[in-house]
C-alpha cells in the first residue's frame, strides 16, 4: 500500500462527472449534521467504553487516536501562538541569536540533503504522488516526502523482496527505531528527515506505531471475520497515513469545522482508499491465499472462500460486491466533507487523489464485478480530465462548480 499518499491524475467521463458533481451538490447540511451526530454517538460510546472495555468496536477505538491527534494539533497551535508572542518580544529586545539556533543552522545543509533523498525516493516510486506534492509549499512538501518514505519502508518490510524473512521481532526493532526517531535519535538520513518533520509539525507517534501493528496483523492473519476486523486493518495500513498527513497539510485558518471532524474525514479517506484497493485486488490477493473481505458478509451472501478461489462471477458475487462498493462510497462521501477544511494548497491534490480512487469503484462495476481476472483501472483520458475538475472543486467548492457547469 501507500505508494500513493496523494495522486494527481484521475478523472471521470463527462457523464461520470455530472453524476459525481450532482452527488457532491446534493450533500447538504443534513449530511454534515449526520456526521456530527456520528461523532457525538462515538464520544458517547467512548465514555461508555470505560465501564465495559470489551464492548468497543474498532471504529470507537480508532476514534480515540483521532481525538488524541486533534488534541495534539490544538495544543501545538497554542504553543506556536505563545512562541510567536515570545519571538516578537525577543525581536523587539534585539537579543543575540542563541547557540542552539546556530547549531540548527549549521545542520541545515545536511538536513536538506536528507529531505532531497526522500524526494528522490518519492519521484522514483510514486511519480504522480511526487507531482502532487509540487503544489504544496516547500516546507510541507519536504515533510510529506519524509512521511511517505517511512511508510514506504514500513510497507516494504512485509511486501518487499525480503518480506519472507520478516519476523515479528524485526517489526519490534523497526518500532524501537521509530521511537528513537521521535526522540531525536535518527538512525540514517531518511530517519533524520522524519525526525526533523515530527519536531516541526504536530504529528503524533501513535499512527506510525499503528501502521507497524498493521504489518504485524498482515503477518499473522489472512482472514477477517467481520467488518469490524477489516475496518481495524484498513485503519492500520491506510487510515494512519491520513492521520500522519493532515498535521502537515494543515487546516485552513478560516475553516469553521472542528479539528476532530477534519481528522475524522481524513481517516474516512484512508479507509475508503483501502477498501477500494481491496475490492480491486480480490483476485490478486486470492492468488496469494488472502481474502480481505468480511467472512460473515460472504456467508450471508451465500458465498465462501472456495467461491473466491474459483474466481467465477455469479449473481451472488455481483450482489455481494454491490454492497461492498456501496460501503466504500459512503466512506468517500464522509471524506469529501472534510477536504474543504484543508489549507488551500492541499485541497487540490487531495481532491484529485479522492476522485481517482473513487473511480476505481466505477471501473469495477464497468467490468461487471469481475475483480478476479480483470484489473479495474482509470484510463488516461479520465485521469487527465479529472485534473481541472479537482482544481475547480478545490478552489470554488463542489456546490458552486456544479452550478457553473450545469
List contacts with ligand GRG (CB under 6 A): 1-6, 238, 241-242, 245-246, 262, 265-266, 269-270, 273-274, 277, 335, 338-339, 342, 350
Q: Which is nearer to ligand GRG, 125 or 182 (CB)?
A: 125
CB of 182 to ligand GRG, least distance (A): 21
| Euclidean distance between CA atoms 158 and 152, whole angstroms | 10
Q: Which is nearer to ligand GRG, 53 or 253 (CB)?
A: 253
CB of 194 to ligand GRG, least distance (A): 17
Q: Which is nearer to ligand GRG, 3 or 295 (CB)?
A: 3
Q: Terminal CA-to-CA distance of the chain, rounded, Å?
A: 37
Cell of 403: 452550478
Q: Could you say which DSSP state residue 239 is in?
A: I
Q: Which is nearer to ligand GRG, 13 or 255 (CB)?
A: 255
CB closest to ligand GRG, residue no: 3
CB of 32 to ligand GRG, least distance (A): 14
Would you say the C-alpha torsion 122, 259, 233, 297 has a positive or negative sign? negative
Q: Which is nearer to ligand GRG, 192 or 282 (CB)?
A: 282
CB of 148 to ligand GRG, least distance (A): 9
Q: Find how far residue 252's CA is from the centre of its chain.
A: 18
* DSSP codes joined into one string, 108-177: HHHHHHHHHHHHHHHHHH-HHHHHHHTTS-HHHHHHHHHHHHHHHHHHHHHHSTTGGG--HHHHHHHHHH
| Euclidean distance between CA atoms 342 and 250, whole angstroms | 6
Residue 363 near residue 376 (C-beta atoms within 8 A): yes
CB of 263 to ligand GRG, least distance (A): 8
| Euclidean distance between CA atoms 70 and 136, whole angstroms | 22
Residue 344 CB partners (closer than 8 Å, separation 6+): 252, 394, 395
CB of 5 to ligand GRG, least distance (A): 5
Q: Which is nearer to ligand GRG, 186 or 362 (CB)?
A: 362
Residue 267 near residue 244 (C-beta atoms within 8 A): no
| Euclidean distance between CA atoms 215 and 10, whole angstroms | 28
CB of 95 to ligand GRG, least distance (A): 40
Cell of 293: 473481505
Residue 373 near residue 312 (C-beta atoms within 8 A): no
Burial class (CB within 10 angstroms; exposed 0-12, middle 13-18, buried 19+) of 334: buried
CB of 2 to ligand GRG, least distance (A): 5
Q: Which is nearer to ligand GRG, 359 or 402 (CB)?
A: 359
Q: Which is nearer to ligand GRG, 195 or 276 (CB)?
A: 276
Query: DSSP 3-state assignment of 342?
Result: strand
Q: Which is nearer to ligand GRG, 258 or 307 (CB)?
A: 258
CB of 82 to ligand GRG, least distance (A): 27
Amino acid at each position: 500500500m501507500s505508494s500513493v499518499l496523494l495522486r494527481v491524475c484521475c478523472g471521470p467521463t463527462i457523464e461520470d462527472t455530472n453524476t459525481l458533481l450532482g452527488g457532491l451538490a446534493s450533500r447538504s447540511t443534513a449530511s454534515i449534521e449526520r456526521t456530527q451526530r456520528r461523532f457525538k454517538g462515538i464520544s458517547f460510546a467512548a465514555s461508555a467504553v470505560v465501564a465495559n472495555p470489551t464492548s468497543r468496536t474498532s471504529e470507537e477505538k480508532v476514534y480515540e487516536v483521532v481525538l488524541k491527534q486533534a488534541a495534539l494539533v490544538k495544543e501545538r497551535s497554542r504553543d506556536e501562538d505563545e512562541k510567536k508572542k515570545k519571538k516578537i518580544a525577543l525581536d523587539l529586545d534585539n537579543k543575540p541569536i542563541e547557540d542552539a539556533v546556530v547549531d540548527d543552522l549549521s545542520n541545515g545543509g545536511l538536513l536538506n540533503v536528507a529531505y532531497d533523498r526522500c524526494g528522490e525516493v518519492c519521484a522514483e516510486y510514486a511519480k504522480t504522488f511526487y507531482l502532487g506534492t509540487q503544489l504544496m509549499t516547500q516546507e510541507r512538501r519536504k515533510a510529506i516526502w519524509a512521511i511517505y518514505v517511512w511508510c514506504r519502508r514500513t510497507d516494504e518490510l512485509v511486501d518487499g523482496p525480503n518480506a519472507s524473512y520478516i519476523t515479528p521481532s524485526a517489526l519490534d526493532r523497526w518500532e524501537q527505531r521509530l521511537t528513537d526517531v521521535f526522540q531525536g535519535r535518527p538512525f540514517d538520513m531518511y530517519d533524520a528527515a522524519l525526525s526533523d518533520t515530527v519536531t516541526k509539525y504536530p504529528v503524533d507517534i501513535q499512527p506510525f506505531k499503528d501502521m507497524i501493528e498493521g504489518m504485524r496483523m498482515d503477518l499473522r492473519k489472512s482472514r477477517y471475520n467481520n467488518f469490524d476486523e477489516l475496518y481495524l486493518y484498513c485503519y492500520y495500513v491506510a487510515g494512519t497515513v491520513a492521520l500522519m498527513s493532515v498535521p502537515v497539510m494543515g487546516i485552513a485558518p478560516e475553516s469553521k469545522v472542528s479539528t476532530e471532524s477534519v481528522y475524522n474525514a481524513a481517516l474516512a479517506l484512508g479507509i475508503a482508499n483501502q477498501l477500494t484497493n481491496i475490492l480491486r485486488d480480490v483476485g490478486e490477493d486470492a492468488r496469494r491465499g488472502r481474502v480481505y473481505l468480511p467472512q460473515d458478509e460472504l456467508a450471508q451472501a451465500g458465498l465462501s472462500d472456495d467461491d473466491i478461489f474459483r474466481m467465477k462471477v455469479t449473481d451472488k458475487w455481483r450482489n455481494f460486491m454491490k454492497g461492498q462498493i456501496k460501503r466504500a462510497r459512503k466512506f468517500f462521501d464522509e471524506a469529501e466533507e472534510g477536504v474543504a477544511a484543508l489549507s488551500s494548497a492541499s485541497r487540490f491534490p487531495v481532491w484529485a487523489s479522492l476522485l481517482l480512487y473513487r473511480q476505481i469503484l466505477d471501473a469495477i462495476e464497468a467490468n461487471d464485478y469481475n475483480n478476479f481476472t480483470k484489473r479495474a483501472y482509470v484510463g488516461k483520458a479520465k485521469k487527465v480530465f479529472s485534473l481541472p475538475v479537482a482544481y475547480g472543486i478545490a478552489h470554488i467548492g463542489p456546490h458552486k462548480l456544479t452550478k457553473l457547469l450545469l
